[in-house]
Structure 1
Amino acid sequence: MEILAFGVQADEKPLIEAAFHGHHEVRCLDVFLTEDTAPLAAGHPIVSTSVNADLGARVLRTLADGGTRMIAQRSTGFNNIDLDVAERLGLTVARVSFYSPYSVAEFAWTLAMAVNRRIVRASNRTRDFDFRLDGLMGRDLRGRTVGVLGTGKIGEAFTRIAHGFGMRLLGWDVSPNPACADLGMAYVDKDRLLTESDVVSLHLPLMPATRHLIDAAALKAMKDDAILVNSSRGGLVDTEALVTELRAGRFTGVGLDVYEAEAGLFFLDKSLEVVEDDTLARLVTFPNVVVTSHQAYYTVDAVGQIVATTLRNVLDYTEGRRSENVLVPAAP
């Protein structure tokens, strides 16, 4: 059976081909799954998709009409998939429920440190042989307060790094993580966390209850000199409200690896085009903001685990097994 994989990055392709060798043929496409590209899947019972694929109702119907019966998403998040429609169409959907939490946690701290110590500004200056220190002063993290919204596997890994820095730990989650509590984390309500934290980092899934969790009111509650990091899902932050606060001169820094309207932009080369997203265009102009292209997970360790799990999901489907990664089971 030939499996069609959409949205495959150049670094990812050899890992996918090596993993599937001896099991199934796999054809890797660098284009993302959209309404325009969905017809390419015709005749492929199984397709694999990336986190920015469009798996709304119209795309799912196109896939089903073309003979697709199983979707193996290469990500933990699945807010891009209309699961109800998939179930009605008889499509099995599986995801990667776990991969290296250290990849994202370490990158979140990379963003925090980059804006705290003005790394991008310093690097740009030295390329022009400007070695002044004006405007590059940062702050020690030791003794300061970090607020972690979401203390699952990634949030825990992020907290362990913060503990190593010697920071005061505040957490917010529907249920406390005992491992974080053992590190000295105090679980508090969201308002207190935002008010007291010098660094706020988001490690939550995107769902209706968490969309724009960091809205205008939440942003106003934060310290004027706080650092905000989002390496989870773009929709957790109201970007328009964030731009408003940045224009008012607030925040030491903001590090974003995700953006709520990133589909159709991230993972693509838009350097020769006019980007029509005025909010993103404004966001990247602030000197205290670093935006990266949803790369926090992008380590050989994490991607290797993602690919291995995707293969297992495919084999489970073809061999009639059910796993914890299945979001929509096979039709009876």
Structure 2
Amino acid sequence: MAIPVISILESYSVYTNQEIKRILDSRRKVGLLGDMMMYHLGWRDEELNPCEAKGGKQLRSTMCLLACEAISGKFDNALPGAAAVELVHNFSLIHDDIEDGDETRRHRPTVWKLWGVPQAINTGDAMDVVSYIAILELKVKPETMIKVLRVFNDTIMQLCEGQYLDMDFQTRKTVTVEEYIEMITGKTAALIEASTAIGAMAATDDQKVIDHFKAFGHKIGIGFQIQDDLLGIWGDPSKTGKSARNDIRNKKKTLPVLYALQYSKQKEELKQLYAKEQFSEADIDRVFQILTEAGAYEYTMKTAHRYRDEALAELEGLCPGSRAMDDLIAIGRFLVDRDY
């Protein structure tokens, strides 16, 4: 990650973390429930003692604050919204870890691995509820709060729909590129879209301005996931921290694979390979060769860049001279241009 973007995320995450801790501390302590939430967020160790483990990048919460600051000159009004989107993101991660059977996250055991699936489900549910406690603290007009809650509810429903499609695709023989875009729109883009929309709604009643920030989040969120797809196959292991061709090895049906399954001259061979229960190293090499020959790399990169450019166009002419807008654009570019 480029140093300027690291600095942006680190500086704003301090305020988001303070807001989340304030909200969690305001709740009545019941057993280990709050501690398990704090563990997942990186503020407790495995013995539930205070610590400062490496948490997430807090992209969504920072984008929420920057949208508000770009419009109004300050981000304070959006802090409850930033806390809410970060809590929703982490609620979804706790449940994703259960559904995917992942035993580690951020180099630590997952909540379900330490305390079991039932407690992890309940911890995720609790974090979702706390996100609503946070969002309701936005200091906006009652009519604006109704609009915010509609966006928030719709986003969480889209997350569930995206996760459903993701799990459904694992067992389906045929998935189209269009269906895949629909899935990542729900699973990845929806919450980024909500982040920039809620940040804008905390700053202005101008619906046209809000719509531009919302569309920016939607399009950059899709580009962000597509870039992940590209790095999962062609990324440099020394930069991504993952083994080469990792997504092929795990038989993930990401955008490059789906493109080749639809358009490659060797699509029948590719279908037969993906019908296998497990890939050999020779199979992985062959899949990689088919994807490369089909132009899947070029297609994926071109598609990610198209969404990036369309996203950035949404912000053209808005908030001239705003440092926060420059920072938001820098994050948007990073999400698609990164190499890890």
Give the TM-score of the pair, scaled to structure 2. 0.27
Name whichever structure is richer in helix by fraction: 2
Name whichever structure is richer in strand by fraction: 1
Give the TM-score of the pair, scaled to structure 1. 0.27
